[in-house]
Amino acid sequence: MKTIFVAFSLLFSSLIFSQSDEAVLKTIYTQSLTNGQAYSWLDYLSNQIGGRLSGSINAEKAVKYTKAELEKLGLDKVWLQDVMVPKWERGDKEVAYYETNNKKTNVNICALGGSIATAKSGLIANIIEVSGFEELKVLGENNIKGKIVFFNGAMQPDLIHTFEAYGGCSKQRYAGAYEAVKLGAVGVIVRSLNLRQDDFPHTGSMSYLDLPNEQRIPSAAISTNDANKLSEALKNDKNLKFYFKQNCKQFEDVKSYNVIGEITGSEFPNEYMIVGGHLDSWDLGDGSHDDGAGVVQSMDVVRLLKQSGIKPKRTIRVVLFMNEENGLRGGKKYAEEAKRKNENHVFALESDSGGFTPRGFSFDCSEANLNKVLSWEALFKPYLIHYFEKGYSGADIGPLKNDNIVLVGLRPDSQRYFDYHHASNDTFDAVNKRELELGAATMTSLVYLFDKYGTSNIADIKEIKD
């Protein structure tokens, strides 16, 4: 069965693009590189608005700004979709030091998103280093009780895909407090998820899961340089004291929005293809790579389609999701509404891996649809787009998953991404205009091809086989 199907799809695939497609891709890339708007949008979002944490005034400004900009593009429809989001505030800049032999050494930390504050005067305690949850459990309550736990698991540098290295230790950030508190810990310090050795602490979301309020302990990230220093100091002095102070706070949920723009399809208006990024960001930098880049690239996809004279057969939506970072409420809400309205989403593409040189895409879809993409490889080759693999698509579009939909993640070069991710250096100057524009063009090209040739539906394939 599989052999027959593959043979069929290869036969089909050899017919699946024409010379005119080469010309269309050339137009798209040329438009993006000579006349793109992504970079100037990002300039505004980053430098005029700045960090856009869910529920903040900046997030509200970003909603208004991007809606107004989409309205200028002459789309068929632009609207806001209500979504209730968590609101967490960092408060004052955090303070931390360790003390050994009566000498204080200041270190760079930042509260993890969702953490509670320390007492007003801060928290001071012995600190114990662990490489991860396994070591934590081995040490047990006897060693942990009353102490701060220092999760010092480092991202694995020899993994070529840095997101794999991130995945390998992101749970110590997300659930470190939850695991440590079970053994009586009083606080948590987590090594920043950064492959570079530098002084920037990297925030990110953590969760207390089902822990009752009174059991929660404060949790912060420490820069990689300071994690190394602290680890060294601990080797010499197991009784070292660690102090930190943060006054972050969780508020009631507030109302916010996904921002949506649409080009209504000319032939199949009830088939929806979406392209998006997330409008919220962490608060430390201005969220240029995460995910200002994905937002402005997605906006430029619909602009580039129009600019390149493409009239989509299917309905193309740009969706700027709210609250990817600490709740995913926007992505969930969008999928709920799509389901409620019985909208047939056939394709969703997310850009949320930074505005670096695009290398290709990863696909969460059927073999038939992946084979369709593989038949287009030659079209992408002149643009050095070579990566077409099965894999993760994106957090915001994940809730749309079903058997038929093509979920896609843009895959830019990932080597520098975690230098900036969730840190104060994720700023506009770290984004290169051409790299950003190449990403927008690459996304537009895939949208163009899937709109033109359609996606394969499992029901159709079964029919052909029967």
Contact residue for a copy of itself among 226, 283, 350, 419 (CB under 8 A): 419
How many residues belong to the site for a copy of itself (CB under 8 A)?
26
Nearer to a copy of itself, 238 or 434 (CB): 434
Q: Near a copy of itself by CB under 8 A, which window of 25-33, 77-85, 250-258, 263-271? A: 25-33
The token pair at 241 is: 């004291």
The answer to whether residues 322 and 53 touch, using CB atoms and an 8 Å cutoff, is no
Question: Helix count (H) and strand count (E) of the chain?
Answer: 14, 16
Nearer to a copy of itself, 106 or 432 (CB): 432
Q: What is the DSSP letter of 113?
A: B
Burial 73-95 (b: 16+ CB within 10 A, else e): bebeebeebebbbbbbebeeebe
377 binds a copy of itself (CB under 8 A): no
Nearer to a copy of itself, 246 or 442 (CB): 442
How many C-alpha atoms does 64 have within 13 Å on its Cβ side?
8
The answer to whether residues 334 and 402 touch, using CB atoms and an 8 Å cutoff, is no
Within 8 A by CB and 6+ apart from 46, the residues are 286, 287, 288, 292, 427, 428
Contact residue for a copy of itself among 133, 413, 452, 461 (CB under 8 A): 413
Residue found by looking up tokens 């012995």 in the block: 126
Alpha-carbon distance of 57 to 52, in angstroms, equals: 8
Nearest approach, Cβ of residue 362 and a copy of itself (Å): 13
Contact residue for a copy of itself among 143, 228, 415, 457 (CB under 8 A): 415
Positions in 81-140 near a copy of itself (CB under 8 A)? none
The token pair at 115 is: 């953490």
Tell me the per-residue interface mask from 235 to 254 with a copy of itself, x by CB under 8 A, - otherwise: --------------------
Tell me the per-residue interface mask from 179 to 218 with a copy of itself, x by CB under 8 A, - otherwise: ----------------xx----------------------
Q: Near a copy of itself by CB under 8 A, which window of 60-68, 313-321, 342-350, 414-422? A: 414-422
Residue found by looking up tokens 């089909």 in the block: 12
Amino acid identity for residue 403 in this structure: D
433 binds a copy of itself (CB under 8 A): yes
Amino acid identity for residue 360 in this structure: G
Within 8 A by CB and 6+ apart from 232, the residues are none
160 binds a copy of itself (CB under 8 A): yes
Residue found by looking up tokens 């050339």 in the block: 26
Nearer to a copy of itself, 337 or 435 (CB): 435
374 binds a copy of itself (CB under 8 A): no
228 binds a copy of itself (CB under 8 A): no
Within 8 A by CB and 6+ apart from 363, the residues are 369, 370, 373, 388, 389, 390, 391, 393, 406, 407, 408
257 binds a copy of itself (CB under 8 A): no
Contact residue for a copy of itself among 4, 74, 382, 464 (CB under 8 A): 382
Measured over the CA atoms of residue 392, residue 398, residue 403 and residue 407, the dihedral's sign is: negative
434 binds a copy of itself (CB under 8 A): yes
Alpha-carbon distance of 363 to 300, in angstroms, equals: 21
384 binds a copy of itself (CB under 8 A): yes
386 binds a copy of itself (CB under 8 A): yes
Contact residue for a copy of itself among 105, 131, 357, 457 (CB under 8 A): 357
448 binds a copy of itself (CB under 8 A): no
Residues at the site binding a copy of itself, with contacts judged by CB under 8 A: 29-30, 33-34, 157-158, 160, 162, 195-196, 357, 359, 382-384, 386-387, 413, 415-416, 419, 432-435, 438
